[in-house]
Amino acid sequence: MPYLTTASKIDQIVAEYTKAKTLWIDTEVADYNSRNPRLSLIQVLDDPEDMSGDRVFLLDVLDQPDLVANFIQQIMVNPDIEKVFHHASYDVKFLGDKKARNITCTLEIAKKIPYYLLPVPNYQLKTLATVLCNFHYIDKQAQTSDWGQRPLTEEQIDYAYLDCIYLAQVHKCLLELQSEGDPAPEAEDLIALNLRYTQIEEQWKLLNSEVEHLQERIKKAMQAQNVSETSFFKLTAYERKTVKAQFLELARLVQSQGLNFDFSITLTQKLQKDLGGNLEQLSVEIDTSNSWRLTPKNQESNSENE
DNA sequence: TCTAACACAGTGGTCGTTGT
DNA sequence: ACAACGACCACTGTGTTAGA
C-alpha cells in the first residue's frame, strides 16, 4: 500500500487514475466532530481483485487544498469514471459535493436489497464485509482516531488501506446479490413463484398476526403499567396537530390581501359531485395513471363454486 | 458533531369489490 | 342502493443511521 506524501507523486497517480473505468475510494477526516473538518487521506483502489493492498494508494492530502482540488477536477467531476464509496454522501461532501459525477454508493445498494436476501443487523461496511465476504477480526478502532496527527500510526495506515479492500469486495458481492434478486420479469417462472408464495403464505400469516398482536398487547400493557422503557422497547407519546381553516375564509383572505398563494388541489369525487355543473367553469388538469393490483384468489371457495 | 435520507406509526381519506 | 372491507396513498411527526 504505497503511501504518497509528496505533491508530485500524488498528482502523478491522479493523472493515471483519469484512465480508470472504476475507482474504489474512501477518505479519512481529521477533526470530524468540529466545525472545520479537514480531509486527511484519500485512499484509492483501481483493481477490485487486489487483496494484498499493493493497488491501494494512500494520498496524504492533509491541509493540501490544491491536491484535493486537482483530485476533484481530474476524477470526481469526470462522468466517465465510476467512483464507488460506502456512504458516498459523506465522502463526496469533501470531494466536490454536487459537482461530483458517476458516484456509486454501496450503502444505498445494500439497503435496496430485500432483508431476506441480506439479513444483517446493520449496514456498516464492517458488517457487510463480515457477512458477505467472510472477513473477520475487522478492527474499527482507528476510525475515530486522530487523523490530523503526523506521522500516522501503523494501525491507522492498515485501517486506511483495508477499508478500500473491504469496499471493493463488498461492492462485488452486492452486485452479485443484486442481480440474483432482480431477474428480468419476462424470464420469471410464474409457477415456481406461485408455489413459493403458497409455501410461505401460511407461516407469514401466523407470524405476522402474532407479531402485530404482541405489539398491541405490549403497548397497552406498558401504558397501563406506566412503563416507558424495557430492555426491548421504548414507549413515547407525542402530540400531533393539524391546522385547519375554512376554505371560504382562506379564499377571501388571499383575495383581499392580494397574496401570491396558488396551487392545485385535488377535486375528489365528492367535491366534483358537489360542484355539479359548475365544474365546467374550471380549467381542470387531469392526471391519469395506471396501477396494477395483485389479488390472491381463494382456491377453496373457487372449487366449491364449480 | 453534522445531516440527508430513511423508516415507521398513526390518521384520515379515496376507491373498487363484495355481499345483502 | 348501500355498508363494510381492504388496498393504497398523502401527510405529520419522531427517531435512527452511516460516514470520520
Q: What is the 3-state secondary structure (H, E, C) of chain A?
A: CCEECCHHHHHHHHHHHCCCCEEEEEEEEECCCCCCCEEEEEEEECCCCCCCCCCEEEEECCCCHHHHHHHHHHHHCCCCCEEEECCHHHHHHHCCHHHCCCEEEHHHHHHHCCCCCCCCCCCCHHHHHHHHHCCCCCCCHHHHCCCCCCCCCHHHHHHHHHHHHHHHHHHHHHHHHHHHCCCCHHHCCHHHHHHHHHHHHHHHHHHHHHHHHHHHHHHHHHHHCCCCECCCCECCCCCCCCCCCCHHHHHHHHHHHCCCCCCCCCCCHHHHHHHHHHHHHCCCCCCCCCCCCCCCCCHHHHHHHC
Could you tell me which of A11, A42, A13 has the C-alpha nearest to residue A164? A42
Residue A299 above 60 pLDDT? Answer: no
Q: Is 70 exceeded by the pLDDT of residue A155?
A: yes
Q: What are phi and psi of A72, to 5 degrees?
A: -60, -45
In this complex, the answer to whether residue A273 has its CB under 7 A from any atom of chain B, a nucleic strand, is no
Q: Using pLDDT thresholds of 50, 70 and 90, give the confidence band for residue A39.
A: very high
Q: Report the predicted TM-score, pTM, of the whole model to 2 decimal places.
A: 0.85
Separation CA A117–CA A173 (nearest Å): 12
Q: Is the shortest CB-to-strand distance from A98 to strand B under 7 Å?
A: no
Neighbour tally for A13: CB within 10 Å: 15
Domains and CATH numbers, chain A: 3-181 (3.30.420.10)
What pLDDT was estimated at residue A142? 94
- Sheet hosting strand A56-60, strand order edge to edge: A3-4, A56-60, A38-45, A22-30, A82-85, A103-105
Q: Which nucleotide's C1' atom has the smallest distance to the CA of A37?
A: C20
The end-to-end CA distance of chain A, in Å, is 73
Contact A123, A107 (CB under 8 A): yes
Quick one: average pLDDT of A221-226?
Answer: 81
Protein-contacted positions of strand C (CB under 7 Å):
7-9, 12-20
Would you place residue A27 in the very low, low, confident or very high pLDDT band (cuts 50, 70, 90)? very high
Q: Which nucleotide is nearest to A147 (CA to C1')?
A: C20
Pull the grid cell for residue A124.
456498516
State the nearest residue by CA to the C1' of B17: A295
Is strand B within 7 Å of residue A144 (CB)? no
| Predicted confidence band of residue A214 (pLDDT cuts 50, 70, 90) | confident
Scanning every strand, the nucleotide with its C1' closest to A295's CA turns out to be C7
User: Please, are residues A114 and A177 in contact by the beta-carbon 8 Å criterion?
Assistant: no
pLDDT recorded at residue A240:
61
Note the CA–C1' distance, A301 to C5, in angstroms: 18
A269 closest-nt by C1' vs CA: B14
Parallel, antiparallel, or unpaired: how do β-strands A22-30 and A38-45 relate?
antiparallel
Q: How far is the CA of A268 from the C1' of B14 (A)?
A: 8
Reported as a single tens digit per residue, the pLDDT across A286-298 is 666 555 666 666 5
Distance CA A53, CA A26 (A): 14
- Estimate in Å the CA A180 to C1' B15 gap, whole number: 36
Q: Grid coordinates standing for A270?
A: 365528492
* Tens-digit pLDDT profile for residues A112-141: 888 888 999 899 999 999 999 999 988 989
| A269-CA/B14-C1' distance, Å | 8
Nucleotides of B under 7 A from a protein CB: 1-2, 4-7, 9-11, 13-15, 18
Contact A170, A133 (CB under 8 A): yes
CA of A215 to C1' of C11 (A): 24
